[in-house]
Amino acid sequence: MSRSRFVQQAMGLGPQWQAREGWFDQHPAELEKQALLQTAQVQQAEMAATISSLEPEQPSTPMPAVELPRSANLPPVAVNVTTAPVSAPEAANPAILISPAVEVAIPSWDQLEQNVANCQRCQLCNTRSQTVFGRGNPQARWMLIGEAPGEHEDRQGEPFVGKAGQLLDNMLAAAGLDRDRDVYIANVLKCRPPGNRNPAPEEILACQDYLQQQIRHVQPTLILALGRFAVQTLLQTEQTIGRLRGQLHQYQGIPLIATYHPAYLLRNLPDKAKAWQDMVLAKQQFARLSQSV
Ligand code: URA
């Protein structure tokens, strides 16, 4: 007997009304509560299924071991760390962008590539031969970001295959990095601006979430931003490379080093030494970051 019933009996208040067995389960309020609970469970299951169908397909070939930079051979470089404005927080799951209020799903890698191939967001779709998505190992720890496809890239559908690409390959090789194994290379724009003119602000804007989604998938340890357009787009600044190089920046929590564009270096040979210093700094930072994980 419950305590309250005992007290009531002791006070002479007599037998009280008692619910029939199952009465509470059949009460309209209880039925409504159960129905709401069931709906919530179905919605939760549907959401889980949608999210798992958006998981990126991981490339099937495992990445060969990347040789860590031989930092002992590298000359010391002074480093300042700056932090760029963060427009979206880091994602733990590469398929999900987490913002304080909402979770935004991003397409799988294959779907993203397809979206880029079909893109008609700006006028460049009328003049391109094809889109240039990127190249390299999508699981690489280094991500290199250039400006836009040129004539050769537009024809071949791959970034950095012209003269600037050859210089970039040489720089990577000198730094002990294999272009197909150790890095993933993408551009700010996925289509060639006619006559290799500079990217227009509206073209950068139209294309920027493709690059953001690529970075989310690759989740590199370090980004090497090549040239003004890549650096200024990622860091949301108008400062020059000359001012931004030589420091460690952050793009949405990912360490970023700014350096000159290889095409610029082809025209400005004296700055090649500075670009090499930037590469040395990048390798030092990569080694440091790799040790801290
Ligand atoms: N310049 C770039 O920035 N990207 C390319 O893919 C080729 C040249």
Domain of 204, CATH number, reads: 3.40.470.10
Ligand 1 shell residues, CB under 6 Å? 146-150, 153, 159-160, 164, 187, 263
Show the low-confidence residues of the chain (pLDDT under 70).
1-103, 293
Q: Is 254 left (phi over 0), alpha (psi -120 to 50) or beta?
A: beta
Task: Report which of 71, 66, 67, 136 is spatially closest to residue 279, judged by C-alpha positions.
Answer: 71
Residue-level pLDDT at 293:
67
Cα–Cα distance, 119 to 131 (Å, whole number): 8
Asked if 260 contacts 50 with a C-beta cutoff of 8 angstroms, the reply is no
Task: Report which of 51, 53, 56, 57 is spatially closest to residue 105, judged by C-alpha positions.
Answer: 51
Cα–Cα distance, 128 to 105 (Å, whole number): 29
Residue 54, in any domain of the structure? no
Cα–Cα distance, 278 to 261 (Å, whole number): 12
Residue 196, in any domain of the structure? yes
Residue-level pLDDT at 149:
98
pTM over 0.85: no
Q: Which domain, by its residues, includes 230? A: 109-292
Cα–Cα distance, 247 to 91 (Å, whole number): 24
Cα–Cα separations (whole angstroms), residue 290 to 55, 98, 167 = 26, 24, 26
Domain total of the chain: 1
Residue 44, in any domain of the structure? no
Phi, psi (5° rounding) for residue 260?
Answer: -70, 155
Residue 149, in any domain of the structure? yes
Cα–Cα distance, 143 to 30 (Å, whole number): 56
Residue 283, in any domain of the structure? yes
Asked if 84 contacts 237 with a C-beta cutoff of 8 angstroms, the reply is yes
Condensed to tens digits (0 to 9), the pLDDT of residues 1-14 reads 555 454 445 444 44
Residue 254, in any domain of the structure? yes
The C-alpha angle 234, 214, 45, rounded to 5 degrees, equals 125
Residue-level pLDDT at 19:
45
Condensed to tens digits (0 to 9), the pLDDT of residues 211-243 reads 999 999 999 999 999 999 999 999 999 999 999
Residue 269, in any domain of the structure? yes
Candidate of 128, 147, 171, 264 to mutate for ligand 1, largest count of ligand atoms within 8 Å of Cβ: 147
**167 C-beta neighbours (distance < 10 Å), count:** 18
Ligand 1 nearest-atom number relative to CA 188: 3
Phi, psi (5° rounding) for residue 224?
Answer: -110, 110
Q: What is the DSSP string of 172-219?
A: HHHTT--TTTTEEEEES-SSPPGGGPPPPHHHHHHHHHHHHHHHHHH-
Residue-level pLDDT at 2:
52
Ligand 1 nearest-atom number relative to CA 158: 6
Residue-level pLDDT at 34:
53
Cα–Cα distance, 194 to 100 (Å, whole number): 40
Residue 276, in any domain of the structure? yes
Phi, psi (5° rounding) for residue 108?
Answer: -65, 165
Q: What is the distance in A from the centroid of ligand 1 to the CA of 261?
A: 9
